[in-house]
């Protein structure tokens, strides 16, 4: 069977199974998510054993520390994955909500309601948690899922999908609403991206290269989730007691994810007094420093190792314990730097000056602006969405962390009483 035939078959099965979602109640979908969460925890040993096979293969293949961290499952992470599913189950039903309603002069009633897209394909790398996050969000929003993870997580994904499908077998929702697309053949990605008419939407989640490939090659509509070259700007009016913990948390707490900071910008008015403290804290946390000329001079003066930052550095999403440092003369200069090198993901400002903060927000063309807090809060779970499908840094159809509402579209219900158009 060719990759095109396989995707066609999986998509057809998913669409037929999706009818069980179409007629399901919110309560039934919520119950299904809780059954999935219980099954994931109950079979955690089985999941961990499969993940260890992927980790062994990843280490043997020389995957870098960032990818290995994304690939790794632990008992705590499995518990968090199950917890995310339960959180999603507690959210309001996103379907059937009336968004707009009116009555025309001829008596016809108009109602715009939220409905699912239908069949959604996910193309993603490494992170097996995405397999569950995507499945439960799509299920709760009434969509069938075609999940195409990477070959590096093949064993983990296979077990996770098996666990979820087995769990659904005890509910009124067909297990075929969750389909795993085989990852050993690269052609399945191309087939998925070109299954227009079979698949309603494709969402990539992973590296900048993966996202660009999907956007460039897909004939199916896509939502572009974001590479994250995120910045933290320390303004001259910053409360410096807040600044260092925010810098360290933004960079160090989990450097492999897209909302980790990659560049630190410091106002020139406080560079001499504050930068030594910031550089020492980063160095002590094991962070490699790439500095512009002004910050490199300060680093050398205090004996902190650093290299000269290049344009390539400032454009790089490291995913590791590395950060760029630069001095800027104003909030406008910080915003100009971000506009040049950023990816419209998450930008943070540390300042007690409300006018400066307001200006930074106005100039920050991005999915999320953090004011006096860490970039790490651009996250569906942290923002109360439960799990997330990804973080969109495009402007259509969704932006920022995408939860249940972002996975819906609309239908117009037009109700008359015999009216005809003249």
The CATH number of whichever domain residue 206 belongs to comes to 3.40.605.10
Q: How many C-beta atoms lie closer than 10 Å to residue 414's C-beta?
A: 10
Question: What is residue 388's predicted lDDT score, i.e. its pLDDT?
Answer: 82
Residues 6+ apart with CB under 8 A from 388: 133, 137, 379, 380, 381, 401, 402, 403
Residue 357 domain flag: yes
Q: Are 134 and 127 in contact (CB under 8 A)?
A: no
Residue 420 domain flag: no
Domain at 333, CATH number: 3.40.309.10
- pLDDT 10s digit of each residue in the chain, 422 long? 999 999 999 999 999 999 999 999 999 999 999 999 999 999 999 999 999 999 999 999 999 888 899 899 999 999 999 999 999 999 999 999 999 999 999 999 999 999 999 999 999 988 999 999 999 999 999 999 999 999 999 999 999 999 999 999 999 999 999 999 999 888 999 999 999 999 999 999 888 788 889 999 999 999 988 779 999 999 999 999 999 999 999 999 999 889 999 999 999 999 999 999 999 999 999 999 999 999 999 999 999 999 999 999 999 999 999 999 999 999 999 999 999 999 999 999 999 999 999 999 999 999 999 999 999 999 888 888 777 888 888 888 888 989 899 999 999 999 999 999 98
Q: How far is 413 from 129, CA to CA, in rounded Å?
A: 37
Domain match, 239 and 221 both? no
Reading the block at residue 101, the tokens are 């309603």
The pTM of this model reads: 0.84
Residue 383 domain flag: no
Domain match, 332 and 187 both? no
Number of compact structural domains in the chain: 2
Domain match, 155 and 300 both? no
Residue 181 domain flag: yes
Side-chain half-sphere exposure of 171, counting CA atoms within 13 A = 27
Maximum distance among all Cα pairs of the chain, rounded to whole angstroms: 84
- Per the DSSP assignment, residues forming a β-bridge with 325 are 264, 291
Domain match, 175 and 26 both? yes
Q: How far is 308 from 286, CA to CA, in rounded Å?
A: 18
Residue 282 domain flag: yes
Domain match, 213 and 237 both? no
Residue 384 domain flag: no
Residue 25 domain flag: yes
Domain match, 162 and 236 both? no
Domain match, 244 and 213 both? no
In angstroms, the first-to-last Cα distance of the chain is 53
Domain match, 272 and 178 both? no
Question: What is residue 126's predicted lDDT score, i.e. its pLDDT?
Answer: 84
Domain match, 197 and 124 both? yes
Question: What is residue 381's predicted lDDT score, i.e. its pLDDT?
Answer: 81
Domain that holds residue 47: 3-225+402-415
Residue 78 domain flag: yes
Domain match, 322 and 411 both? no
Q: How many C-beta atoms lie closer than 10 Å to residue 78's C-beta?
A: 22
Domain match, 198 and 275 both? no
Domain match, 192 and 96 both? yes
Question: What is residue 385's predicted lDDT score, i.e. its pLDDT?
Answer: 78
Q: Are 313 and 340 in contact (CB under 8 A)?
A: no
Strands of 210-363, DSSP E: 230-234, 261-267, 288-291, 307-308, 322-328, 346-350
């Amino acid at each position: 069977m060719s990759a095109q035939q396989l995707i066609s078959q999986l998509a057809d099965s998913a669409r037929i199974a999706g009818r069980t979602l179409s007629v399901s109640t919110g309560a039934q979908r919520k119950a299904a998510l809780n059954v999935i969460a219980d099954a994931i925890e109950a079979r955690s040993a089985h999941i961990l054993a499969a993940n260890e096979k992927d980790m062994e293969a990843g280490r043997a293949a020389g995957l870098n520390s960032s990818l290995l961290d994304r690939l790794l499952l632990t008992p705590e992470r499995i518990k968090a994955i199950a917890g995310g599913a339960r959180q999603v189950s507690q959210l309001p039903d996103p379907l059937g909500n009336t968004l707009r309603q009116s009555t025309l002069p001829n008596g016809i009633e108009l109602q715009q309601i939220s409905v699912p897209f239908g069949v959604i394909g996910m193309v993603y790398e490494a992170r097996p948690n995405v397999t569950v996050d995507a499945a439960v969000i799509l299920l709760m929003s009434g969509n069938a899922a075609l999940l195409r993870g990477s070959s590096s997580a093949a064993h983990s994904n296979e077990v996770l999908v098996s666990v979820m499908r087995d769990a659904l077998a005890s509910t009124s929702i067909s297990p075929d609403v969750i389909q795993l697309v085989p990852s050993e053949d690269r052609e399945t990605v191309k087939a998925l991206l070109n299954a227009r008419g079979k698949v309603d939407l494709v969402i990539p989640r992973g590296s900048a290269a993966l996202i660009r490939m999907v956007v460039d090659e897909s004939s199916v509509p896509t939502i572009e989730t974001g590479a994250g070259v995120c910045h933290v700007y320390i303004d001259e009016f910053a409360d410096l007691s807040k600044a260092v913990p925010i810098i360290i948390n933004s960079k160090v707490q989990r450097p492999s994810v897209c909302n980790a900071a990659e560049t630190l910008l410091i106002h020139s008015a406080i560079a001499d007094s504050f930068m030594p403290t910031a550089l020492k804290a980063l160095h002590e946390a094991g962070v490699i420093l790439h500095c512009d000329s002004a910050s490199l001079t300060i680093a050398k003066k205090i004996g902190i190792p650093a290299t000269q930052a290049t344009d390539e550095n400032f454009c790089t999403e490291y995913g590791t314990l590395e950060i760029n440092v630069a001095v800027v003369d104003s909030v406008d200069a910080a915003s100009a730097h971000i506009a040049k090198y950023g990816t419209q993901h998450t930008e943070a400002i540390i300042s007690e000056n409300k006018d400066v903060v307001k200006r930074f927000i106005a100039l920050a063309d991005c999915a999320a602006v953090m004011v006096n807090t860490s970039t790490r809060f651009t996250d569906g779970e942290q923002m109360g969405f439960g799990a997330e499908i990804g973080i969109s840094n495009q402007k259509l159809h969704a932006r920022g962390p995408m939860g249940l509402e972002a996975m819906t579209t609309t239908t117009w219900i037009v109700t008359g009483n015999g009216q005809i158009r003249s």
